[in-house]
Structures are given as structure tokens and as C-alpha cells.
């Protein structure tokens, strides 16, 4: 739908925006403004809904109409949903369901420091890369398998409720595709920054000999097909230790579902917190990007949510739908904003969401 543009105008990329609950609509609204400022009419947004408020109104947390809308889009920017901690009849987390239905098998979570996170780590490791202020910089990406592992949903009771069993599923097919994805991402990141790629394969094959053994063996096989990448392996427990001790030494990290979840949350704490980290759920031909944070009901409606995580997620989305230049532009703007722009309260400042967005727009 080119809305009367001239013949020379490219067909816009159609993306869905799903605010969800709590601060979701606030941060998605902010990110859409930044994207539009950078991309102009190259994006056509369509609105879709899911989450707790949708469930209360319609009885479905993920309406069929939303899935249909998404199927007609190249990708989506999603805020967050509020999921109650107690069981509610008929309610299931719509984001978990969407990852499954759209087969969004790769969860990508970049960990990039701003100056402030880096300053805490100053002097930790000689010879590490530096950010603009000459301080240690973190630039890693966790690629988490998003469809199986311990989150396969195979739990059951035994001995009349005295024992709970969870089955952990690792398949060669899912491991092959996640590791291939991680290798391709490592190469494109390396090409962008002009230095060699490294990939760390995370597992616990010394204990889980069959399941993590299969993950390890398959991962090393696939990675061997990418001779330009320096590949190493690391047991998950010491990986958490090393990531916290020397995060600047990591580049690509690939891990089964739960390990990747834990590593990326630990990593978020190293680079400025939940308010700044974006993520992308990627499938073969669809990408759903979202901030790592939830709906933050404690600050919803107060106009103080940090928009950085949602804007970072939007950059990941643009990259995946073929707007790499625009994504790069947003990253530059974000880097400057994080260094010298007004800070929202979660980053120790007193700026509002609106002031943060105004600063981002000014830098575009
Ligand atoms: P949360 O991430 O929503 O909030 C944790 C803390 O970080 C809160 O103090 C919050 O104010 C702060 N925070 C988060 N994002 C922020 C931002 N952009 N700017 C400033 N401060 C921010 O996690 P919580 O409290 O555990 O969960 C709240 C709700 O979110 C729950 O209903 C949970 O189910 C849901 N949730 C949804 C997710 C999703 O939709 N993908 C992911 C995680 C949680
Ligand atoms: Mg998590």
C-alpha cells in the first residue's frame, strides 16, 4: 500500500506494532516515533493486540486476528504483556504461544555497554576494546534456542505428586539451525566491525552426556563449516562466572534454551539493566522484536519508562527485515543518547520518557 507515492518509491515494509500491557504501549509508541523519524514512509505499521487486557475484554490472550495480521507482516515490534502469577482459566502467555506458532526458533539478545556500565568495569582487563570514553566496552550477543530444551513443556507428576519430572528435549535439527544462525550472525557482526568472529558454545555435556552431548557434538560439527570463526566451548556454570568477570572477551554465545535465558539476564545486569536491552525472536521469515523487560506495572502510566530497550529492539527488527542501514543509524543515535542524553529514573536520572524520546529524535 504505497498511498499515492511515485513509481520510484519502494514498497513499504509492513510491520505490526503490539503494545500489550503496562508500559508496553508507552515504549512501543516511543520506538515507533524513532523508527518513523529514521525510515520515513519505508514502513507501514499495522496495529495488533494481545495480552492481559485483551484477555479480559475478549477471553483470548492471543486473538486469531492477531496471528492473521502477523502472518501478513514481515515482522513485529512488541512491548510486553502482564501475566498473572496465579493460574487463570483459559489464560496462557501469548508471547510463549506466538514463539511456538510462528516457529521463532532463535532468540537474539545483544549485550552492549553504554559508557556508564563500562565505567563500573574500568581497568578490569588490560587490552580490552574501548568505548568512546576509553573505558572497557562489552559487545556480545547471546543466541538462545527458543523452541525446546527444558521449556519443551513436558512436565509430569510421579508417585502421587511426591515427585515432579521435567523432560529436557535436545534435537539435532533444532541444534543445527540455531548454531547455523549463530555462526551467520557472528560473521555479519565481524564484517561490520572489521575484526574476526568468535563463537562460544555453551553446554554441560560433562554431566548431561546425551542431551548436552548431542548439543555439543552437533554445534561443533556445524561450526566447523565456518572456518573463519574461532570456536570455543564452555561449561554453563563457569560460563556465568566468566561472563560476569570478563564480559568484554565474549562475542557470539550460543546456548540451549534455559542456559541462554539465564546468561542473557545476567548479561543485561552488566550493560545497564532491563531498561536498555532489546531482543529479537527470529524465524525463517518472521521476526518479533521486544524489550527484554516486562510490563513494569509499578511505573506504568507515569511517563517515566525508559524507551531505550524498545528502541534497541526496533533496530534489531529493522536489521532482520532488510533495513540494515536504518538499523545502524538508530544504533548510532542510541549510543550517543546513552552517553550524554537525559537519563530516566531507572538509570539514575529524572528524565521522562518524553524527554528521552525528544533527545533521540533530535539526534536523528
Ligand atoms: P519487569 O521487567 O516488568 O520489571 C522489573 C523492574 O524493572 C520493575 O521495577 C520495573 O519498573 C523496572 N523496569 C522494567 N522495564 C523498565 C523500563 N523500560 N524503564 C524503567 N524501568 C523498567 O518484570 P516483573 O516486575 O517481574 O514483571 C511484571 C509483569 O511483566 C509480569 O506480569 C510479568 O509476567 C510480565 N513480563 C512479561 C514479559 C513479556 O511480555 N515478554 C517478560 C517479563 C515479564
Ligand atoms: Mg528471562
- Residues contacting 289, CB < 8 A, separation 6+: 75, 76, 77, 78, 278, 279, 280, 281, 313, 314, 316, 317, 320
293 and 248 belong to one structural domain: no
Q: What is the pTM of this model?
A: 0.88
* DSSP annotation of 302: T
Q: How far is the CA of 294 from the centre of ligand 1 (A)?
A: 3
Indicate which residue's Cα is closest to atom 41 of ligand 1.
80
Minimum-distance ligand 1 atom for the alpha carbon of 296: 3
Model pLDDT for residues 72-109, shown as the tens digit of each residue: 999 999 999 999 888 899 998 898 889 889 999 999 99
Q: Is the CB of 21 under 6 A from ligand 1?
A: no
Looking up residue 169, the CATH number of its domain turns out to be 3.40.718.10
Picking from 234, 254, 270, the residue at the C-terminal end of a domain is: 270
Q: Is the CB of 80 under 6 A from ligand 1?
A: yes
99 and 26 belong to one structural domain: yes
191 and 288 belong to one structural domain: no
- Where are the alpha helices (H) located in 139-246, listed in sequence order? 172-193, 211-224, 236-245
Q: How far is the CA of 295 from the centre of ligand 2 (A)?
A: 13
Give the β-pairing of 163-166 and 139-145: unpaired
Q: Looking at residue 115, what is its pLDDT?
A: 52
135 and 248 belong to one structural domain: yes
What's the CA gap between 349 and 104, in Å, rounded?
36
126 and 236 belong to one structural domain: yes
147 and 285 belong to one structural domain: no
Q: Looking at residue 125, what is its pLDDT?
A: 41
What's the CA gap between 234 and 128, in Å, rounded?
20
Picking from 270, 305, 326, the residue at the C-terminal end of a domain is: 270
Minimum-distance ligand 1 atom for the alpha carbon of 345: 20
213 and 286 belong to one structural domain: no
Q: Is the CB of 28 under 6 A from ligand 1?
A: no
Best of 88, 281, 296, 314 for a ligand 1 pocket test (most atoms within 8 Å of beta carbon): 296
Residue 222 C-alpha cell reads as: 556445524
Q: Is the CB of 274 under 6 A from ligand 1?
A: yes
Q: Is the CB of 313 under 6 A from ligand 1?
A: no
Number of structural domains the chain divides into: 2
In DSSP terms, 109 is beta-bridged to 142
Picking from 270, 293, 325, the residue at the C-terminal end of a domain is: 270
228 and 203 belong to one structural domain: yes
Residues in the chain, pLDDT under 70? 1-9, 115-136
Q: Looking at residue 315, what is its pLDDT?
A: 97
Q: Which domain holds residue 34?
A: 1-110+276-364
Q: Looking at residue 9, what is its pLDDT?
A: 61
Q: Is the CB of 275 under 6 A from ligand 1?
A: yes
213 and 283 belong to one structural domain: no
Q: Looking at residue 136, what is its pLDDT?
A: 59
Q: Looking at residue 314, what is its pLDDT?
A: 98
Model pLDDT for residues 5-27, shown as the tens digit of each residue: 444 467 999 999 999 999 999 99
Indicate which residue's Cα is closest to atom 31 of ligand 1.
82
Q: Is the CB of 351 under 6 A from ligand 1?
A: no
210 and 285 belong to one structural domain: no
83 and 143 belong to one structural domain: no
284 and 159 belong to one structural domain: no
Q: Is the CB of 74 under 6 A from ligand 1?
A: no
Q: Is the CB of 239 under 6 A from ligand 1?
A: no
What's the CA gap between 223 and 104, in Å, rounded?
21
Amino acid at each position: 500500500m504505497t498511498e499515492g507515492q511515485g513509481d520510484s518509491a519502494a514498497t513499504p515494509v509492513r510491520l505490526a506494532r503490539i503494545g500489550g500491557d503496562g508500559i508496553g504501549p508507552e515504549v512501543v509508541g516511543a520506538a515507533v516515533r524513532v523508527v518513523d523519524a529514521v525510515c520515513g514512509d519505508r514502513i507501514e505499521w499495522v496495529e495488533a493486540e494481545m495480552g492481559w487486557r485483551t484477555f479480559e475484554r475478549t477471553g483470548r490472550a492471543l486473538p486469531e486476528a492477531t496471528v492473521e495480521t502477523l502472518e501478513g507482516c514481515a515482522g513485529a515490534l512488541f512491548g510486553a504483556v502482564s501475566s498473572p502469577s496465579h493460574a487463570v482459566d483459559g489464560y496462557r502467555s501469548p508471547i510463549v504461544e506466538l514463539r511456538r506458532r510462528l516457529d521463532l526458533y532463535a532468540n537474539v539478545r545483544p549485550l552492549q555497554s553504554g559508557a556508564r556500565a563500562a565505567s563500573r568495569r574500568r581497568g578490569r582487563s588490560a587490552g580490552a576494546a574501548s568505548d568512546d570514553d576509553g573505558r572497557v566496552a562489552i559487545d556480545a550477543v547471546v543466541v538462545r534456542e527458543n523452541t525446546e530444551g527444558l521449556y519443551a513443556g513436558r512436565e509430569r507428576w510421579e508417585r502421587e505428586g511426591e515427585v515432579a519430572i521435567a523432560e529436557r528435549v535436545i534435537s539435532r535439527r533444532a541444534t543445527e539451525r540455531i548454531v547455523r544462525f549463530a555462526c551467520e550472525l557472528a560473521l555479519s557482526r565481524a564484517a561490520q566491525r572489521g575484526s574476526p568472529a568468535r563463537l562460544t558454545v555453551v553446554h554441560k555435556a560433562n554431566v548431561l552426556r546425551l542431551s548436552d552431548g548431542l548439543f555439543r557434538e552437533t554445534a561443533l560439527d556445524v561450526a566447523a563449516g565456518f572456518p573463519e570463526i574461532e570456536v570455543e566451548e564452555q561449561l554453563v556454570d563457569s560460563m556465568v562466572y566468566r561472563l560476569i568477570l570478563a564480559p568484554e572477551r565474549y562475542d557470539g554465545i550460543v546456548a540451549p534454551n534455559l542456559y541462554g535465558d539465564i546468561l542473557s539476564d545476567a548479561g543485561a545486569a552488566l550493560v545497564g539493566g532491563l531498561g536498555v536491552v532489546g531482543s529479537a525472536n527470529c524465524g525463517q521469515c518472521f521476526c518479533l522484536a521486544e524489550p527484554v523487560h516486562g510490563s513494569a506495572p509499578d511505573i506504568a502510566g507515569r511517563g517515566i519508562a525508559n524507551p531505550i530497550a524498545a528502541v534497541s529492539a526496533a533496530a534489531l527488527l529493522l536489521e532482520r527485515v532488510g533495513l540494515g542501514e536504518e538499523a545502524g543509524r538508530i544504533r548510532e543515535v542510541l549510543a550517543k543518547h546513552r552517553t550524554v542524553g537525559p537519563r530516566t529514573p531507572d538509570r539514575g536520572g529524572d528524565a521522562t520518557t518524553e524527554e528521552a524520546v525528544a533527545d533521540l529524535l533530535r539526534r536523528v
